[in-house]
Structure 1
Amino acid sequence: MSKYRAVVTSPLRTRSFRLLFLGRTVSAIGDAVVPAALALAVLRATGSTSALAVVLAAAMVPRLLLLPLGGVVADRFDARRVALVADLVRCATQLAVGVELLGGDPSLATIVVASALGGTASAFAMPTASPLVAGTVEPAARQRANALMGITANTSRLAGPALAGALIWAAGPGWAFIIDSASFALSAALLALVRVRHVPVPRRSVVADLRHGFGEVRARDWFWTSLIGHGVWNGAAAVLMTLGPAIAIDRLGGEATWVLLLQAGAIGMLTGSLLAGRVRLHRPVLLANLGLASYAAPLLLLAVAAPAPVVIVAYGVALTALGYLNPVWETVVQHHFPPEVLARVTSYDWLVSLGAMPLGYALAPLAADAFGAPAPLAIAGLLVLAACAGTALVPGVRRLTWPAATAPQPVEPVANAR
């Protein structure tokens, strides 16, 4: 494996990135306590898992449908401004849910509407993440900056369940939403102070902007073939999350095995993010995708009900690879795409990754009912291995290295078009 250590100035020395990092950290902590609080709140109010599914779908559907439009808006109207408005919208929606829950007689309709509005805001916020880092940090420090973002997100995921449990036990789920609302308000206030490099974008119609962004994606075989691998990986992760708990409980020693597996994954993600801040691979996409292929191991091991310690270690190693890939992937994308299309490219990335997960959630129980749980787990493992390791056959993946300091050029002229 070819690698070298990157020696760069800490991006936290830059005031704008420091403010951005602080805002994202606060927001991540707030978000980490919400999933458990939301599940408990809806189940307490309705006693129905179907109601919980409706609430989750209300957020997911607009998020998926509007992601490409969110990328166009973030490229055209300044990523910082779009992120700030999205934070304010989510501040209001989380506050509305918190107040509703604290009132003692929550309305499911209110929670569903708030979830839909929050999902819509997320569709516009998610594509801004990469342009904000690229616009506040010099190229040499971007991998470390993306690693720092990964570290704060993964630390929040690791601590989130414990924080949520303590908060819900002490004050109830309503206060989790109030705290998340306050975190979005603080994040918006910090974003107002951030200064992001201006990137002029030619004026086009929305359709032309979508087509231009897709053209940039299609022109890079290393990108779109990796996206297919990442989508398969996320779909397989949904299969594991759906079927894994039952296998762990029934055949691997009980609930404690599943909890330990999840904790091993969270620790692995954090470890991978820490490594990404220190180690730079010469062929980053090739080696990162090969690392992602390691996710086949826990899937196949669960399928054959291998000993619990072996499954747990395999899952931790696979999630370490994911924790390393995410910041490296962000950095490569920031280096190889023109800044004026970065939000659109990011939106297509998220669309493929997130869109595969509902498919996995839907197909896994159907396949398990028809063929037994081991079959879909084994198939998912083989698909991950083929899709992620298979990118090594793509010339662009094999050849891609870190670019020179010159800015990436668009694949078509940036003339005005309407």
Structure 2
Amino acid sequence: MAFGDMVRRLAVDTRPLAIPDFRRLWAGQGVSFIGFQLTAVAVSAQIYDITSSSFWVGMLGPANLIPLIVFGLWGGAVADAVDRRRLLLTGSVITWAATLALLAQAALGTANVGLLLATTAVHATGFAITGPTRAAIIPRLVPAEMVPAANTLNYLAGGLGSVVGPLAAGVVLAQGGLAAAYLADAVLFTAGFYAALRLPRLAPLGEVTRPGLRSVLDGLRYISGHPIVMMSFVVDIIAMAFALPRALFPQVVAERFGDSPIAFGWLSASMAIGSVVGGLMSGWVGRIRRQGLALTFVIAAWGLSVAASGLVGALWAMVALLAFGGAADLVSSVWRQTILQTHAPDEMRGRMQGVFMVVVAGGPRLGDLRAGATATWFGATGAWVGGGIACALAVLVVGLAVPSFRGYRAGTREV
């Protein structure tokens, strides 16, 4: 195979960008996500400035997680019953209003932690509505064979935002302060709002169920009755709850690298760097048909790369191995998202994306809890390495034990 042909096969598949509605949605989401990261960093800095307490900064966790769980499930149910364009605009207005409220508090010099946490919860509510709605829209904008490529492009934009946003936040906070960071988010958010505004009407297809508790329960029953969908959530929880080493970064930096801020920064950015590089070399991802089996093995690779990174001593080796894990995590995210978007019928896609958001939000929190707890018993290295090995073993046992998931081929549906 010629080098040029190999590059074309590995390079990210950009065909979905030829579709104007998707292109606008993708670009708008990418730009606005940088602003989202700016606000996330600024709120943490503002609360610490007010309280000098990591406890109150930590309270941002439940302030974000509770709305994501409640309104992620509810928003997904609503997305299956109404025009998804209108719902995306509604959630966007909520998020935008919360950002403007944070801007006003910073400009007025308000020093009320409770008000900041409440505004953050409103901000998370808007995100919880727009997240599953936007994901449920994608299969309506691109052909089924392009859904993996569209998801890869979305995760690539998210990875870039996770690198650029925090770096930009440091510069903006240093030069302009909190109000400048929130103002930048509000301005950048206009790109996402414009993209939503330009979408066509997206009325629900198939049977429409009135949104509410019954609709949410119907979605959960659908998951329990369809092993392939259920397993897409189970393997994600295994990946994050067992192997994510994020909570161990401060201790490892203190023990191995003399509390170096540079080392901490590299470790914190390593997985996002890997996801960006993996996204740029993802042309092969959409050509994999045995997605259940491939998903099992790529999550095992994620766990083993995390374990290996905990055993090496050099910072560059740790970053490189974690970056490889970040690339593996991006690939697994694309396949999990694609299974949900193409395997479930359109009338269930919003609810599936709502549950997906809950799992994506909750899994890393479980991972932080697991890492912190096991570190008290086995030390940081034991918790780091043991978690990665446990992830690899658990996902292989569970993933290979379910025949329908093991044999699943892209584009097929359970009956």
* Same fold, judged at TM 0.5 (above): yes
Moved more, 366-375 or 162-171: 366-375
1:98 touches 1:178 (CA, 8 Å); kept in 2? yes
2:84 touches 2:203 (CA, 8 Å); kept in 1? no
Match of 2:279 in 1: 273
2:82 touches 2:203 (CA, 8 Å); kept in 1? no
SS at match of 2:49: helix
CA deviation after TM superposition for structure 1 residue 106, in Å: 3.0
Q: 2:122 aligns with which of 111, 117, 123?
A: 117
CA deviation after TM superposition for structure 1 residue 197, in Å: 4.4
1:296 touches 1:381 (CA, 8 Å); kept in 2? yes
Q: Residue 314 and residue 209 in structure 1: after superposition, are their counterparts in 2 closer, same or farther (change >3 A)?
A: same
User: Given the alignment of the two structures, is residue 250 of structure 1 paired with residue 250 of structure 2, yes or no?
Assistant: no
Mapping for residues 4-403 of structure 1, pairs under 5 Å = 10-195=15-200, 197-200=202-205, 201-204=207-210, 206-236=212-242, 238=244, 240-252=245-257, 255=260, 256-279=262-285, 280-301=287-308, 303-304=310-311, 306-390=313-397, 391-403=399-411
CA deviation after TM superposition for structure 1 residue 398, in Å: 2.1
Which TM-score applies when normalising by structure 1?
0.88
CA deviation after TM superposition for structure 1 residue 253, in Å: 6.3
Query: 2 CA distance for matches of 1:192 and 1:366?
Result: 46
Q: Which amino acid aligns with 1:93?
A: A
Q: Which amino acid aligns with 1:49?
A: S
> Aligned residues, how many?
404
Query: 2 CA distance for matches of 1:167 and 1:357?
Result: 28
CA deviation after TM superposition for structure 1 residue 91, in Å: 0.6
CA deviation after TM superposition for structure 1 residue 14, in Å: 1.8
Cα deviation digits, residues 218-277 of structure 1 (max 9, x gap): 233233223122112222455x11113311331256533333333332221012222334
Q: Residue 49 and residue 190 in structure 1: after superposition, are their counterparts in 2 closer, same or farther (change >3 A)?
A: same
Cα deviation digits, residues 135-190 of structure 1 (max 9, x gap): 11121222222222122111111212221111111101222112212333442232
Moved more, 244-253 or 341-350: 244-253
Query: 1 CA distance for matches of 2:52 and 2:30?
Result: 33
1:229 touches 1:384 (CA, 8 Å); kept in 2? no
1:88 touches 1:184 (CA, 8 Å); kept in 2? no
Q: Residue 49 and residue 195 in structure 1: after superposition, are their counterparts in 2 closer, same or farther (change >3 A)?
A: same
Which TM-score applies when normalising by structure 2?
0.88
Query: 2 CA distance for matches of 1:150 and 1:359?
Result: 22
Query: 2 CA distance for matches of 1:205 and 1:301?
Result: 46
Q: Specify every segment of 5 or more residues in structure 2 that has no aligned partner in the other structure, as ranges.
A: 1-7
Match of 1:416 in 2: none
SS at match of 1:401: coil
Match of 1:414 in 2: none
CA deviation after TM superposition for structure 1 residue 359, in Å: 2.9
- The Cα RMSD (Å) is 2.7
